Structures are given as structure tokens and as C-alpha cells.
Structure 1
């Protein structure tokens, strides 16, 4: 992966913002020297070339500087949750107010077996088994920018079940071995319950087997959600499904989401929208139907069952449906629900263009605490970089930075994630 390095003038602006953010975000760190090492590490993430290891971040100041940074990241007992919460509150107060909380999986492939949480495991995002860490980021996302504010690191069974391994990695006694989806859902619930934030819709991809449980978990806390699902998801509908099962002729239809959505072609409406990254405006066709999720395997359905809405999308009138989402938000136009769902694309873009070059995958230490410290500081560096407008053209679209001395392009009338129309019915 090619690492983009900010020009010195840009890095200076980011460093100035980091200086301003230190007292706001790191107020919970009790000692001045801790806040100073946070500043050193953040500037290193922004300025260091190549992989953002502690040695590279220390730069020419190896020796005592490297040792102090190593201690600050890997063993210092400062709590990361208050810093992340302060970052989230700061972003919520700023002009970058989020429209949704987007959950994005993070897979970090490793060569060895010493990094905390590493193991050989099947990874749906890769479509294969890999020796890796699996994590999830919770991002504040709007049409203009996305910011990671919370992270989970999934711990396979051996990391919580083997006392020696657990002790060496400094894994808390309260940590449990859960699936990445379960870890992410619990993190959202904690944020909603304790971070004192305005509750936003949660956007995430959910496997068929996890849908009912995830929907119930969020419904219990009145958390709105938009779940991207697979077209094979079985759903129960009293409406226009083509196939019905069971002895009750007039009972609910159980059919794959893809087939139910395809039966709604006559109800489609067109929405014109602007994909992130400066791509040409797109037209998507949408339709929706009320459904109930069907239990998968031996997992029971939520009790009482939660009425949901299945949203389907087509990229062309003659093509099969290409996107499927389940939501508990029933009071918004389809265009708004679709634009919420597509905020996942904004997160993917800002991850690739900002978060990854800043080193979110690069931590080489072996401690649970160190991984979370590094992820926290990478999140702050990401926020500082985007809040200065580095790499953002004046119209809010992401793309190549304007060359010095050239005129700014006039703002476009359509910003990313904003619909021009409430929808036009398409036959």
C-alpha cells in the first residue's frame, strides 16, 4: 500500500489543530507528561513516513523517546474510553455533526501468533480463513466526512480461556470471547447508554443468522438501525411475496428477501444521489415492504416480534435488485433511508484515504491495552486531519487536493449523500 505523506504546510496545520485538541480530548489523562506523549504520538502518526510503528514515530529521537512512547502506548494505565467519548462529543458539537453511526469491520492480517487477539479464523470480508485480528470501528458519518470514535477487538476463545496468554496480553477479566458482530452490537449499546450523545441510526452489515438477535438488541434500547443484509435472507410478509410455505394458504409468505423485493418492481421510485469520492451522480431505484425476520437455525425470533421494513435497490430498470436493507425506521422517505445506508461508502472511502495511511493497522505491540491506545490515537489523528480539510476540495467531495495557486472550483449544488428528489415512480 502506498502511504500518502502530507506536505509540510498541511502537516503544520494538522499539528496546530492537534495542539488545540489535546486539552479538549485528553483532559482525563492525569499527568502533563502523558498529554505531551499523546501529542508526540499524534504528530508522528501524521508526519512519519512508512509504517506507523513506535520506532518510526519516534524518528530521529530513538532511544529515550522510543522507550517513553513504548511505555505510554503499551503499559501506561490511562483509560481510552474517556478520550473516545470526548472525541465523539466534540465531533457532535462541531460542524461535522453525524447523520448515523456506521459500523465497519477491520481485519488485520498477521504473520505470527503473539499479537493480542490473533488467530486463524474464517473472515467473511476476505472470503477465506486467515491468521488475523478482527476488530470493528464505530464511525460518525455524514455525507461530507466520517470519523472513527470507538473500536472493539474481538478475542478468540484461547485469548480469554488460557490464563497465561490472557495475563501476558493484559486482557481484563471482564473481557469475553464473542463474535465480531456481538462485540460491535454491545459497543453501540454502551455508547447509547453512557456516552450522552444524541442517538443516531446505526448502519451496519448483518449476517442472516445475526439479524434477529441484533434487531432485538437495538430495539430494547430504542436504537434506530439500517442493516445491510444478503438477498437470501428469509423474511415473513403478508404482502406480495411470490412464494408461500406452510399449510395456511392465506398466512404470511416466507420468501428470500431478493424474491420479495423483485416482486415490487411496479412500486419502484427513482432517487438521484451523489456517491462519495467525486464519482458521477447516480440514479437508484427503490422499493420497500413491511416484513418480519424469520429465525435462522435454532435461534428464536425476537419476542415480541419487531415489525421491520425491507428496502431493495436496483441500479438499472432492467437489472435484478442489487442491494437489500432491513430497518426499524418507518417514518422517513425511502430516499433518506437509502442515503443513510450509503453512508457506509463514505466510511470506506475515508478509511482508505485517511485512517489507513495514518496507521490504524500498524500497531506491532502485544498488549490489549496497547492496541486500544493506538486505535484511540489513530482516531484522533484521523479527526485532526479531516477537520483541517486536508485532501478535501472546497465542495466537500473527496479527491485530489487543489494545487497551490489554482482557483477553487465552484461548489456543486449536490453534496455527497444528499438527494435531489424525493423519488419519481418508475414503471
Structure 2
């Protein structure tokens, strides 16, 4: 894709923001020279045209700078987790207050097999087998903007089972070969347990086969979710009350279509566009288990299946499973559509600052680069939105009392706040 070249005034404003973000997010780096190289790299991600490789960031003829940046990114042992956590906590308390945590897959096609995590694998997002890295971002998303704060890199089996390959890439002993969805769920669980953030609904898309694992995992930590599924998903419903025999099982598409007479019409504005859109919604209570016969590890809350038609469609085309039962359908739908907000910001900001551009071979280097690209993404959006850097010394309030000691409560968006909705009201058809 074409790279965005920022005007000089914009890059100056963003550089000012970067100076403040260094003091906010990189205090965990023990040495001043490390923080200085973080500043150089961040400014390079914002200012450099073309691919954001270490060589391009360093500039021609600056071999010492290139070597120092290579050391800082690929070999220096600084921990990226505190930086990502500080970024998330800062965004949590700013004007960009998130409504949801959105899981966004990222595919990086590669030549050869030396880059960490690369392999020939089927990629649902591409609909084909590709030689690539599969990664995932956890984004804090509001209707105005979204920000990646945590990243996963999926490691195919050979990267965890072959000792030589694992050693050369510096893969930690604790790393395991999981699916992208499992990696994302583990990342969300870590954030919920240790990052001291108010829990927002998790919005993601998973295959029908992996849905039971995701639902069970989120239920263990009382994490609200809106999960997009395929219409072929078998769901169980009915069976409550003397005159409702069952339960029955049917594909999600069939159950939703049987309720077309109960559809509500939602008028809304798509993210990044000015024209309005119309979507028809209906929902059905379904039984725990979502097509899987295994007993859940903890009692599951009631689940809701939500289905959507576009304005002219004869059949429902989108489906979500959620454990959020106390919000209007319009709000659940627009939470689900925050994936569009993330896709827009990924294409317009995160890709231009080079999130896919790391060419090193180490596990540590990939995560260092992803962390700095996330901060560059935030600096770009915060700098362009405000024209001034954020306050560096705002005290961080803890999210408040919890239902379980040490665990922030799940927080849903306030009822009046619906992302992307036009001023026209929802009405019943």
C-alpha cells in the first residue's frame, strides 16, 4: 500500500508527543541511552518514508546508528510488557476512553523461513495457504479512535519443538505452539488479570471449532464478550418451561432467520464514512455449550445469539455470540462494528508507521518493534487529534473496587454512548 507522508508541521507535533510518551511509558528501561534509542526509533517510524527497516531509520552512511538500533531492538533484554501496560493505562484514562478490547489478526507474508514464527500455513483472512507470520493485536477501541496495546506472535510447531531454531530466534522456554485465537485469548486474560484496566467487552472473530474454548476461557474471568461466528454454527435453544419441549439444535443462520418477524431496524454511520447505513437485527437466547458437548469448567451465563441483515439482504449475513444480556441490540451491534474502526486505523496509521516492516529474526526483536510501532501509532493519533502533547504527570487512578480481590470489574459502555450511531433513533419495523 502507499505510505503516508506527513507534513512537516505534523511530524513536529508528533515528535513533541513522542518526547512526552518516552517519559510516560519507558521508565521501566533501566538506562538513559536505551530511552534515547527508543526516541530515535519512534521518530524514525513516524518520519521515515518507505519501509520502516532499521537501515532506513538509521539513514545512509550512519553505520554506528544502525548498529546501535539493531542492538536496541533485536538484542537488548528490555521488557516490552511494562511499556505496553503503561500505554494501555494511559489511553484508558484519556479522552480516547475505550468501549471495547478488539482482537485484530495480522498476517505478514514473508519470503524464506528465517523470520521468527514464519511458516506455510492456511490463513482464514487470506482464504489460502501462505508463507507468513500470523500475529494478533489487542486494540483499545472507541468510536473516535483505536490503539493497539498488546501483541501476540503465533509460533507454528517447528518453532517450539526444534531446539536449534528456537535457540537462534531466542524463543522463551515458556512459549508454546497455539492457534492465533488461543494466543489472543491468553493475551486478553493476562491483561484482565494483571494490567489494572477496567474490563471492556472483548470483540473478536473465531472459527466455530474454537468458540467453546474462547467462551470457557472468558467465563473463567468474568470477561464480557461479543464474538463473531459463522452462520453454520450449531446452537441449542428452547427447553425452558412446561410448554417448550427441547432443547432443539439448529444452525445459527436458521434460528435467526426464523425470527425475522421480530427484527429491529438500526440506522447508523459506518466508521470512516459519512453516509448512513441501515441494518436489521434480531436475537435469540441460546443454551450454554454453543454446539459443544463438553461440560464447561465453570457455570456459563446465559448467551445471546445476535443476527444481522443488510438493508437489501434476503437472508441474515452476520452472527455474534455474546454474554452481555442487559444492553440494547443496537449497542451490541455497534460494539461488534468497532472491528471496522480498528481496520480503518490499522490501514491509515498502524501500517504507515511500519507495524509489518520488521525484518529481524529474533522473537525479542519482533516484540520490541511491535511495541514501538504501537507507541508511534498512539503518538500519531494523539498528536494529530490534539495538536499538543499529553500531560506527563497525570496521576493514574486505580479502576475502583472489584468483585474479586485484585480483579477490576467488567465495565460495559454507558447506555447513552453508542459508537458510530447517527442521531436518528432505533425503531421497530
Following superposition of structure 1 onto structure 2, how do residues 208-287 of structure 1 map, counting pairs within 5 Å? 208-238=208-238, 250-287=245-282
Distance 2:324 2:38 in 1: 40
Following superposition of structure 1 onto structure 2, how do residues 24-423 of structure 1 map, counting pairs within 5 Å? 24-60=24-60, 62-238=62-238, 250-292=245-287, 294=289, 300-303=294-297, 304-316=299-311, 319-389=314-384, 417-420=420-423, 423=426
Distance 2:290 2:313 in 1: 32
Distance 2:418 2:200 in 1: 20
Deviates more, 1:415-424 or 1:37-46: 415-424
Q: Is the 8 A contact 1:285 1:317 kept in 2?
A: no
Distance 1:374 1:39 in 2: 13
Deviates more, 1:414-423 or 1:341-350: 414-423
Distance 1:125 1:32 in 2: 41
Distance 2:3 2:179 in 1: 31
1:98 positional shift:
0.3
Could you list the runs of 4 or more consecutive aligned residues of structure 1 that deviate by over 4 angstroms after TM superposition?
A: 293-297
1:357 positional shift:
1.0
Distance 2:84 2:211 in 1: 28
**Superposition TM-score, scaled by structure 1 size:** 0.89
1:163 positional shift:
0.8
**Superposition TM-score, scaled by structure 2 size:** 0.89
Secondary structure of 2:135's aligned partner: strand
CA 1:3–1:391: 2 relative to 1, 3 Å: farther
Secondary structure of 1:85's aligned partner: helix
1:341 positional shift:
0.2
Match of 2:428 in 1: 425
Distance 1:369 1:275 in 2: 37
The answer to which structure, 1 or 2, has the higher relative contact order (CA under 8 A, 6+ apart) is 2
Q: Is the 8 A contact 1:102 1:140 kept in 2?
A: yes
Match of 1:23 in 2: 23
How many residue pairs align between the two structures? 397
Q: Is the 8 A contact 2:331 2:418 kept in 1?
A: no
Match of 2:394 in 1: none
Unaligned stretches of 5+ residues in structure 1: 241-248, 393-413
CA 1:273–1:391: 2 relative to 1, 3 Å: farther
Q: Is the 8 A contact 2:134 2:180 kept in 1?
A: yes
CA 1:60–1:415: 2 relative to 1, 3 Å: farther
Match of 1:245 in 2: none
